[in-house]
Structure 1
Amino acid sequence: MAHDTIHYLVLHRRDPSCNMARYYILSIAPSLFGDATLIREWGRIGRPGQRRVELYENQSCAVEALETWLQRKRRRGYLLQGG
């Protein structure tokens, strides 16, 4: 993943047999202090979810963390949306 691009990924996991419809959003944004933040949002599609913001020293560290979370979620059955 290139480090100079905007990072905003939306993943979905659906299983109608289990009444499962989940989303997971990963995004990277600069903080006010010059470091980078990884923002993770998750929950049931159509409902308010949870959000966690993690601070990283620089954008490349945040990108590494994003890629790690992306791999974890894809192993659990989440699919990338719109791409």
Structure 2
Amino acid sequence: MIAQQYRLYIERRDPGRNMARFYALSIEGTLFGQICLVRRWGRIGTRGRSIQHSFDDEGEAVGLFMQLLRAKRMRGYRLGSAARHGSAAPSG
């Protein structure tokens, strides 16, 4: 059981470089009682790619969540328009 909801959607846009990327993170519980960190990324407006990391402990998942968030913020990612409007995922 997850004590708190963890969801994040951030974007990096640079029109001069034709860059429009998104990065989404969420921590979810599985049917088997494990904790799963789901990472999604790609060009805004596409489904993108995804990967899942499974953990036995919520604290480990939160640690990786925060580590990835810091790395993306350092690369210029900021809260995206979907996050500001209440949606945690891009369309497409």
TM-based fold match above 0.5 = yes
Q: Please tell me whether residue 29 in structure 1 is matched to residue 44 in structure 2.
A: no
Partners of 1:45 and 1:76 in 2: CA distance: 17
Superposed CA RMSD in Å reads 1.5
Q: Which runs of 4+ in 1 moved over 3 A?
A: none
Question: What's the TM-score once normalised by structure 2's chain length?
Answer: 0.82
Partners of 2:52 and 2:28 in 1: CA distance: 10
How far does residue 61 in structure 1 lie from its aligned partner after superposition? Answer: 1.0
Partners of 1:80 and 1:68 in 2: CA distance: 16
Any unmatched runs of 5+ in structure 1?
none
Task: Give the residue type in structure 2 aligned to 1:46.
Answer: G
Q: Please tell me whether residue 13 in structure 1 is matched to residue 12 in structure 2.
A: yes
Partner of 2:43: 44
How many residue pairs get aligned? The number is 81
Cα deviation, 1:64-83, whole Å, max 9, x if unaligned, reads: 11001000100110002329
Quote the sequence identity (%).
Answer: 42
Task: Give the residue type in structure 2 aligned to 1:72.
Answer: A
Paired residue secondary structure (1:32) = coil
Paired residue secondary structure (1:22) = strand
